[in-house]
Amino acid sequence: MKKVIPIASDHGGFEMKEYIKNRLENEGFEIIDFGTFSNESVDYPDMIHPLAHAIATEQYELGIILCGSGNGVQMTANKHPNVRAALCWNIEIAKFAREHTNANVIALPGRFIPFDLAFEMVKIFLNTSFSGGRHELRVKKIGLF
């Protein structure tokens, strides 16, 4: 069975989104693209809210979001209950995002990291499990409601 991964970006992350999407499809993943579909200027919440809602309602287990810095998309996604979007910029951060905080969305800075590094972080993120244990209680304390 194919693993289904949703992905979304604004114009600042569009080129990297396309690169990651193509690489994941070549590795057998099914990608659900929430947009944007060009590098024309758009407002990132228009793409990120639908993806984050899909994660929050458990339509998908893990997701990928991108913008120029990664900050705007991460802030937007984290407004949704049960979404834990982690801004990642290196392999270790991507690994710990899954292991220690059970992050379910990786946010990437499309203008600040190389495409190949971004793809390696995505692979680590998708293939790392939450370690639970002492981190379980901490994760449970994240939500306000």
What pTM did the predictor assign?
0.93
11 is catalytic: no
Report the C-alpha gap between 143 and 81 in whole angstroms. 7
Instruction: Catalogue the E-assigned strands of the chain.
Output: 4-9, 30-33, 63-67, 85-87, 105-109
| 54 φ/ψ angles, rounded to the nearest 5 degrees | -65, -35
Assess contact for 94 and 113: CB atoms under 8 A. no
117-129: per-residue pLDDT in tens? 999 999 999 999 8
Catalytic residue among 49, 53, 100, 135: 100
Fold (topology level) of 4-140:
Ribose 5-phosphate Isomerase B; Chain: A, (3.40.1400)
30-52: per-residue pLDDT in tens? 999 999 999 999 999 999 999 99
User: What pLDDT band is residue 136 in, cutting at 50, 70 and 90?
Assistant: confident
100 is catalytic: yes
